[in-house]
Structure 1
């Protein structure tokens, strides 16, 4: 495993997964970890419970094998472990067939995607300057970290837009930082400023889906669920409640590429967009 620094100041470990075959091809994946699913838990789950089920199996049955080692629970307790296996299997099959992973997903739909970079909280001036540094390097997607004072946060968004103009994608992520009333105030302020904010991610606490819906119904700014969307069953609950406009999915929390496809299919059937 290797270490990464989190935005909360502590060190997190990610587990590297390698699947070996009798023909010498090695599939490599990565299982993210956090304080809920630390490296010891993820590693034990893979080594003791998942890996034994894969030994002797045909890797070309990779989707069957992903189902074999995974299961969805209300808390998504095996999502990180499964994602490591999933990514390693996709890598292995792509190498065996001599094709990129997108071919395994149905082909290349586009040759370019917008990548956004996160900008930490700060004063309006500092956040705008920080964004401009990225802009000069070619970055055209900004996700500003907010979630403290709604009016001050709105000023930060305005400062970034004024500094970079309207040819960039500008998004905001509150990371559960607002109350429902504060999130509504922020959205109201931003709408009045006419800064073309593409979305507001996770404005309220993880389990307050009714509060998320209240924010969504109060604004024209698309609301995205990140921390609230932590398992397939939870995504279904979010959709059932019509709580958000967008589902933020990641390979780690969706249990891998196969999981992202499942989440995207469910979201599309409900008329929701996803972000990856």
Structure 2
């Protein structure tokens, strides 16, 4: 199975409502769509969104990395020796994790197709159905309460609340209002996106604990580089702390595990450079008794399908944050993971199960 071509194109899909975090406001899901072809007529699909404030990758840099650096390294390689192919992918250049992730998921799509297995079965096959949370963007408390109520009416039993954009007292007001609106039976996760300082994070989390707001997880409360600060928060509160932006590489994950700087890890393909490295991080966490959540950026159902296959395959991935495709005004993907409210079902067809990506520049058929 010789790799014969890699092509890219841009995709932009408007969101139903602006997505606001402590780091950015997003109105469109902009990404690079990747197709990798082989000499046996198969096509693998991948996707990489531009998330400059997190990964440092723009549409232009992703496109350039794939076409000018990664593509020349991989064309002509035999995917049946995929250990060597993934080594070449990750050694091709430093960083550029989103570009690597898009090619990585297309390669795994092809490998699983060749084995005539759905990707989640090829990777481990733990489960084919998973349940996603839904994210409430950071806004005024009343608006966030309205949004939370709407998502609960749609059947979501876990909400991920964005905080960290302004004063911590305001964040406590937001969570108090949301909890008042949705009752006690809905799980709440907080994501500060690096927006808090250490002492303020401890004070606010303790205050929410004392108020009985019942927070399941607090994600990335402090700056990504501040592992000592995150450990200080983790040790000082009862609520589990999850690392997100602090983890791109297995080496970074190992440092967090060794320090016990967090209680859990949030793995995202756009940070790890794809499934190949994500498996290493998850395995290290599992052997250390640390569970993982699988998340995503603002991506279409293509990239989320790849992440969901990986998440469904692994026992140690116990929480899922795959709501991004539900935020988009329209769906360009034919095939892939299927949503029914919060429930997601992986396709029982070879590979990712993605058949086509519709777009302004034409349709991408998968002849396999």
* Shared fold, TM over 0.5: yes
Report the 3-state secondary structure (helix = DSSP H, G, I; strand = E; otherwise coil) of the residue aligned with 2:277. helix
Report the 3-state secondary structure (helix = DSSP H, G, I; strand = E; otherwise coil) of the residue aligned with 2:130. coil
The whole-number CA distance in structure 2 between the counterparts of 1:85 and 1:260 is: 14
Query: Which of residues 66, 72, 75 is equivalent to 1:55?
Result: 75
Structure 2, unpaired ranges of 5+: 1-9, 295-368
State the match for 1:25 in structure 2: 42
Higher strand share: 2
The whole-number CA distance in structure 1 between the counterparts of 2:193 and 2:229 is: 14
State the match for 1:145 in structure 2: 162
1:3 aligned to 2:23? no
Kindly state the Cα deviation for residue 114 of structure 1 after the two structures are TM-superposed. 2.3
Tell me: CA distance 1:44–1:114, structure 2 relative to 1, closer, same or farther (3 Å): same
Are the counterparts in 2 of residues 66 and 86 from structure 1 also a CA contact under 8 Å?
yes
Supply the RMSD in Å over aligned alpha carbons: 2.1
| Superposed structure 1 runs of 4+ greater than 6 Å apart | none
Kindly state the Cα deviation for residue 175 of structure 1 after the two structures are TM-superposed. 1.0
Kindly state the Cα deviation for residue 211 of structure 1 after the two structures are TM-superposed. 0.9
Tell me: CA distance 1:71–1:233, structure 2 relative to 1, closer, same or farther (3 Å): farther
Give deviations 1:79-117, integer Å, cap 9, x for gaps: 11211111001111222333211111122x224322112
Greater relative contact order (CA < 8 Å, ≥ 6 in sequence): 2
The whole-number CA distance in structure 1 between the counterparts of 2:181 and 2:251 is: 41
The whole-number CA distance in structure 2 between the counterparts of 1:87 and 1:48 is: 19
Tell me: CA distance 1:72–1:182, structure 2 relative to 1, closer, same or farther (3 Å): farther
Q: 160-169 or 203-212: which moved more?
A: 160-169
Report the 3-state secondary structure (helix = DSSP H, G, I; strand = E; otherwise coil) of the residue aligned with 1:113. strand
Higher helix share: 1
Tell me: CA distance 1:163–1:267, structure 2 relative to 1, closer, same or farther (3 Å): same
The whole-number CA distance in structure 2 between the counterparts of 1:53 and 1:211 is: 40
